[in-house]
Structure 1
Amino acid sequence: MDMNEHRNRRLKLIMISATFGGLLFGYDTGVINGALPFMARPDQLDLTPVTEGLVTSILLLGAAFGALLCGRLADRYGRRKMILNLSFLFFLASLGTALAPNVLLMAAFRFLLGLAVGGASAMVPAFLAEMAPHEKRGRMVTQNELMIVGGQFLAYVFNAILGVTMANTGHVWRYMLVICAVPAIMLFASMLKVPESPRWLISKGKKSEALRVLKQIREDKRAEAECREIQEAVEKDTALEKASLKDFSTPWLRRLLWIGIGVAIVNQITGVNSIMYYGTQILKESGFGTKAALIANIGNGLISVIAVIFGIWLVGKVRRRPILLIGLAGTTTALLLIAIFSIVLDGSMALPYVVLSLTVLFLAFMQGCVGPVTWLVIAEIFPQRLRGLGSGISVFFLWILNFVIGFAFPILLSSVGLSFTFFFMPETKGRTLEELEEHFRSRHDHNTPEQSVIEV
């Protein structure tokens, strides 16, 4: 095996290992979709509409704080160490939810699980962005989105299998929930073999160790050049205090934070997670039976996986902004059609199949365009010193909005996403992370904020 092939394999191992965090993120957010109907039974947790909403949404609240907290901790202690700690939290919280004897403990463990989900959603893309060469960064980071929807797809498949074959078993929902402990173990074991981010190592003064890591995944000359480039970027920040919210008072950094928050909000106002969490209930209300809805919901998961595979190819070929604009136009159209046909075909035998078809169309645009670009841009735009904090704040708003929206489809709000992306989201394709930082600095120095955003 030549050295280039060895380096490529090493890079692939890093990507697969880290994205087990995305798989856990996906399974934990998707499994509630099928578990709720069984969990709500009087002989189980006897959920009311209020407690059903609590059990579902408390994970999202935990995820918001997990993203914010883990971003800060990762800047201090390292990306790899935080992902290892998150795998342990995933494992414990998964067992806790599966064994919870009442609503109170279920809500507590779901909140802890949310902390892990939120931490993974902020940390894994940032870690991958820092490990990847710039020409592969788009595809590497969006692999995490594939693992997220792959985790949701697996959740729907296991929900359907267990829900159909064990429908009369009282504790079938516990089997659905405990499965998540398996990828948590896999995440921990695989991350033990993964090195720390060279960018984080250099930020902590460990240049020789960072160069050793870079030489494992880059050609020697390129590794040395990239090490110098990172070192120069870090030295510009040496006179500054440790990362804090007040750093974002600097105009160019404040603009980046607003872009990160805006992209996160755009992702959520499409209403995608209404389908991810309540897809089974939505299909039941449109006319499917419980078992048929569980099986049909697999189609939602499958189209998400196919769409993300297409999205991974797309981000390697096309600029970020056009992908996001096309995705938002498609999701907006699909949501409007769902609303129209739900009124026009109310009571019709065709309604369930029309809703399912349009849901599949919606997910194709969402998971193929909007989802991959969201996580990629948030991972790319912040400078090294503030990457964990900036990503954490952006993802915090993503999860908070997710929590607030719940299962409502925001048809009217989705149109806001188009205007934000067109006027404010910058293009990040084809640049190293350090080049992006220098670009944002220089654009602020020479242009007004409005001009620099539109021209990027």
Structure 2
Amino acid sequence: MSATTTLQLRMDEAVRHVIRNYNPQGSRIGWLMLASIFVEAWDLYAIAFVLIFIRAQYHPSALLLGLAAAGTQGGALVGALVGGWLSDRIGRRIMFLCTMVLFIVLAVAQAFVTSVALLAVLRFFLGIPLGSDISNGYTYIMESLPPGEREVVGNRWQFMFAVGEIMTLATILVMLLFHMNHELVWRITLGLGAVPALIIFLLRHSLPETAVWLIRRGKFREAKLVSRRLYGDELEMLPNQDFEVPQPRPTEFLNDTRRDPVRWRATLFSWIACFAQGTEFSTFAFYLPVLFSLVGVSSLIGINAVTMALYVVAAISGWVGPMITPRIGHRGISIAGFGIVFVSLLVAAWALYTNHIVVLPFAAAAMLWGHYWDASNTMTIATVVAKPQYRGTASGFAYMFVKLPSFLAIFLFPSLFAVVGHATATLLVALCPLAGLLGAIFLLPEIYGYEHH
């Protein structure tokens, strides 16, 4: 057996040893990773709740307004691809710290823009660390928690999204109740995203690099130090010196994944599900405040109150979904989630066609419940089946399938509203959960608790 093969076997043994035997402050690390999703929820979706104020102040065209709303999604598309690759290349920890610094600076800058065009540019650059942080966070979770537990923690990202949206709406509602100037409302709302980002940066600063990444990079001495510090384990199977380990090309994960039918089918499903859930949310759910306003559901304060109530339902769903995943598996939660969203959107379209407006909030609540189930495991599946050496790249590639439709939908959906009407647009959106439902039934193998062999 060659020296290279022997070294590779030792690395594989060390990685399996760390993942199977240790959970280094796993809950704390998992929640620290998920906490950044609170920031992303605030920065991505606060704009949806203040679009009405920005439109009233600047009177931009529908396309420019859509671009300002979707700019962060476009930047996140770039960040997911580049950030995932950089996470594999330069490490998980440094990427976390860099993304949080960018969060803070760009979130504050939003509060001082002088035009919608400048806001759109800033939001595009803000999206880059947002997209990077998601792929990096999932990689960290999969390398810090054992099989079974990492799926539950990873699937809680939708709960954190809902919490971020609830806090954003609550902040806006308080400002409206105090009759604050509407320009101050939207500027403060967008700028406040820097506060949780700063807190997370301070909490994350002491986190070490993951032992798994260090092992895969041939940094054995540092891996031993981290393992000794966190686990009291010397990783005796590794040599006491560093080695230059050849690293795979960014696209190697595609070639490698295709060799395993289970991993390939799971990865394909994750891409389809990411695209479906990204589209369904970024059309119907993202524009709920605007939709309620257009169909005359309530006053401005009423719209925010109803929308916040809907996201309380979403938060409950986002907590329940991961809890039942160990019992019904990834297939079960995906089938249930996409099925609920599909039926809910059909009901919402019927309500809009027949002018039964009172049904709309209930259909929206059911849709959000289902969405927070079907979206819960899309990133988990893609990341958990990827091998550690390209896990960040694979995670970022999957997140691209969330951000691309999100950017296009948020940018173009107002124009679709105008052309075909609210009811037909909602009916067209229902095709997305249908695709996800069929994928979960016919394509997705059950990979709960998946381990590499």
How would you bin the TM-score normalised by the shorter chain? 0.7 to 0.9
Q: Identity of counterpart residues, as a percentage?
A: 22
Distance 1:321 1:218, change over 3 A: farther
Distance 1:18 1:247, change over 3 A: closer
Contact 1:300 1:363 in 2 (8 A): yes
- After superposition, the CA RMSD in angstroms is 2.6
Gaps of 5+ in 2: 1-21, 414-424
CA deviation map 1:53-106 (0-9, x unaligned): 110011111111110110111001111211111101111110111111112221
Q: Which residue of 2 aligns with 1:336?
A: 346
Distance 1:430 1:278, change over 3 A: same
Distance 1:255 1:329, change over 3 A: same
Q: Which residue of 2 aligns with 1:35?
A: 50
CA deviation map 1:195-224 (0-9, x unaligned): 21221111111335435545666685xx95
Q: Which residue of 1 aligns with 2:207?
A: 194
Contact 2:172 2:185 in 1 (8 A): no
Contact 1:124 1:144 in 2 (8 A): no
Distance 1:140 1:218, change over 3 A: farther
> Match for 1:278: what amino acid?
Y
> Match for 1:243: what amino acid?
R
Contact 2:50 2:186 in 1 (8 A): yes
Residue of structure 2 aligned with 1:268, choices 274, 278, 295: 278
Distance 1:196 1:181, change over 3 A: same
Q: Which residue of 1 aligns with 2:254?
A: 248
Q: Which residue of 1 aligns with 2:440?
A: 421
CA deviation map 1:385-424 (0-9, x unaligned): 2211111111112211112223454113321111212222
Contact 1:17 1:194 in 2 (8 A): no
Deviation at 1:161, TM superposition (A): 1.9
CA deviation map 1:360-406 (0-9, x unaligned): 01111111x21211121122121112211111111112211112223
Deviation at 1:167, TM superposition (A): 4.8
The equivalences for 1:16-415 within 5 A come to 16-41=31-56, 44-214=57-227, 241-245=247-251, 247-250=253-256, 251-252=258-259, 255=264, 257-269=267-279, 271-287=280-296, 288-344=298-354, 346=355, 351=357, 353-367=358-372, 369-406=373-410, 407=413, 409=426, 410-415=429-434
Q: d(CA) in 2 for partners of 1:170 and 1:135? A: 47
Deviation at 1:123, TM superposition (A): 1.6
Q: d(CA) in 1 for partners of 2:175 and 2:149? A: 39
Q: d(CA) in 2 for partners of 1:320 and 1:163? A: 41
Contact 2:344 2:364 in 1 (8 A): yes
Distance 1:376 1:178, change over 3 A: same
Residue of structure 2 aligned with 1:10, choices 1, 25, 37: 25
Contact 1:11 1:217 in 2 (8 A): no
> Match for 1:245: what amino acid?
T
> Match for 2:391: what amino acid?
R
Q: d(CA) in 2 for partners of 1:218 and 1:163? A: 50
Gaps of 5+ in 1: 1-6, 439-456
- The more displaced of 155-164 and 92-101 is 155-164
Q: d(CA) in 2 for partners of 1:202 and 1:37? A: 50
Distance 1:167 1:275, change over 3 A: farther
